[in-house]
Amino acid sequence: MSAVFYRGLLRLRIIQAAPLIRNLAATASAVVSPSERSSSSAFTVSFLTSSCGLAPAQAASIARSLRLSEETRHKPESVLALLQSQGFSEAQIAELVCRSPRVLLSRVELKLGPKVQYLNHMGFSSDMIARDPRVLLRSLERHIRPCFEFLRCFIGSAKDFRTLFRRHRWCLDFDMKTTMIPNVALLLEMGVAAPAISRLIVTHPRSLMKNRERFLEIIKIVQDWGLTPEKNLFLHAIRAIAGLGKSTLATRLELFKRLGWSDDDIISAFQRGPLFILVSEQKLLCMTSFARKLGLTPSDISRQPKLLMYGFEKRILPRYAVWQVLLAKGLIKQNNKLVSMFTTSEKPFLDRFVMRHLDKVPELLDVYLGKIKVEELGLCGKESRCQKDS
């Protein structure tokens, strides 16, 4: 090919590359020199330690992503002044900056000040803000205020508000407009009572923070397993399934089947106490082994799924010890009393199975409290114990 053609081709490529070259040149001119970067980092560390109360290691870590300078120090200083005027202690300021250092770059009068004042007005204490300051990076009008206005429709008392944000400070970090708000609207359309939804929001808001597709999947599983919106356990069931990812739920169901549970057993237990599905693998294995020793089948447990949720060391074993003593003394004649002993609430259990027999077995209360072992009474052999569930 001719030299003219090559020169034309080269000129075309240069023209095509011109925007990229200009961008690279602009980037190069904007790059901070090593000495300037070092100076900025040193000032950032100094400011974070001397003005914000951070440890040098914390300050050095934050300085890798946050740049403060002597020329613009008035901005973070105004942020600190605002926090101090709103009652934040030195420790709270240090925690806030450590958790969300970009708050130091906020515009005080237009943004940060109104947010802090609004949160305080809604019952957010300085300590609560310091523990989860990411909310201060959210828009007051587009996020914070709409979230509170929505929650106030369902949470009437100041006590419930405090409970919600004391337990779930992260709640305001979520985009409620695409998760909780449409999910709650769907539950209302299905006929779920508003007071029940309110309790779920206060106690387990994460159950409602699923995207639309996943939330619809959860509702379908719950309904397929026999719990409909008009039933009291419907929201408990949503909480149970929402607490497990898809793969975790599949793994958990497979484990139940390996332990001898049928599909009917699983559904039967779910309809009686859906939270049983959240029991840890370790506890499930332990309780299954113990139940087999007692002659209880998966079908027996499915009719009383609460058995899987009780504390093994703190409830099951002490009551089993009492049952052993009463059976050996002839004070209980039917073995099926054992399950009712496990499921009876504390005071009725003590009255019915412990206190009323102290005249015949004075050691019974000490057996229940673990001060005396059953074998020390010479009534039966030493029983094997499962490992304590962590």
Domain range for 50 is: 39-137
Structure tokens at 165: 């944000």
* Mean pLDDT within 108-136: 89
Rounded-to-integer distance, Cα 171 and Cα 180, Å: 10
Q: What pLDDT band is residue 40 in, cutting at 50, 70 and 90?
A: low
| Mean pLDDT (the chain, rounded) | 85
Instruction: Please report which residue ranges of 31-144 form alpha helices under DSSP H.
Output: 34-50, 56-63, 74-85, 90-99, 113-121, 126-131
256 within some domain: yes
4 within some domain: no
Structure tokens at 64: 């890798």
**Among 309, 330, 345, residue at a domain's last position:** 309
Structure tokens at 278: 């959240």
Rounded-to-integer distance, Cα 289 and Cα 286, Å: 5
196 within some domain: no
Q: DSSP letter string over 52-82?
A: T---HHHHHHHHTT----GGGTHHHHHHHHH
343 within some domain: yes
Give the per-residue pLDDT at 22: 46
Q: What pLDDT band is residue 11 in, cutting at 50, 70 and 90?
A: very low
In angstroms, the Cα distances linking 328 to 23, 321, 325, 376 are 88, 11, 5, 13
Q: Are 114 and 140 in contact (CB under 8 A)?
A: yes
**Among 287, 309, 331, residue at a domain's last position:** 309
158 within some domain: no
Give the per-residue pLDDT at 90: 95
From the list 98, 91, 102, the residue with the least C-alpha distance to 57 is 98
Q: What is the pTM of this model?
A: 0.74
Residue 325 confidence (pLDDT) above 80: yes
Q: Let me know whether 104 and 76 are in one domain.
A: yes
Q: Let me know whether 293 and 353 are in one domain.
A: no
Residue 375 confidence (pLDDT) above 90: no
In angstroms, the Cα distances linking 29 to 14, 38, 186 are 21, 18, 54
269 within some domain: yes
Backbone angles phi, psi at 336, to 5 degrees: -70, -5
Q: Which tens digits make up the pLDDT trace of 187-201?
A: 999 999 999 999 999
Q: Are 233 and 274 in contact (CB under 8 A)?
A: yes
How many domains does one find in the chain? Answer: 3
Backbone angles phi, psi at 153, to 5 degrees: -70, -25
Q: pLDDT above 70 covers what percent of the chain?
A: 86
344 within some domain: yes
57 within some domain: yes
Q: Let me know whether 335 and 303 are in one domain.
A: no
Helix (H) or strand (E) holding 331: none
Structure tokens at 320: 């089993």
Give the per-residue pLDDT at 387: 39
Give the per-residue pLDDT at 357: 94
Q: Let me know whether 355 and 296 are in one domain.
A: no
* Mean pLDDT within 358-384: 80
Q: Let me know whether 249 and 294 are in one domain.
A: yes
**Among 276, 309, 342, residue at a domain's last position:** 309
Q: Which tens digits make up the pLDDT trace of 337-355?
A: 788 889 999 999 999 999 9
Q: Let me know whether 252 and 277 are in one domain.
A: yes
Q: Let me know whether 296 and 333 are in one domain.
A: no
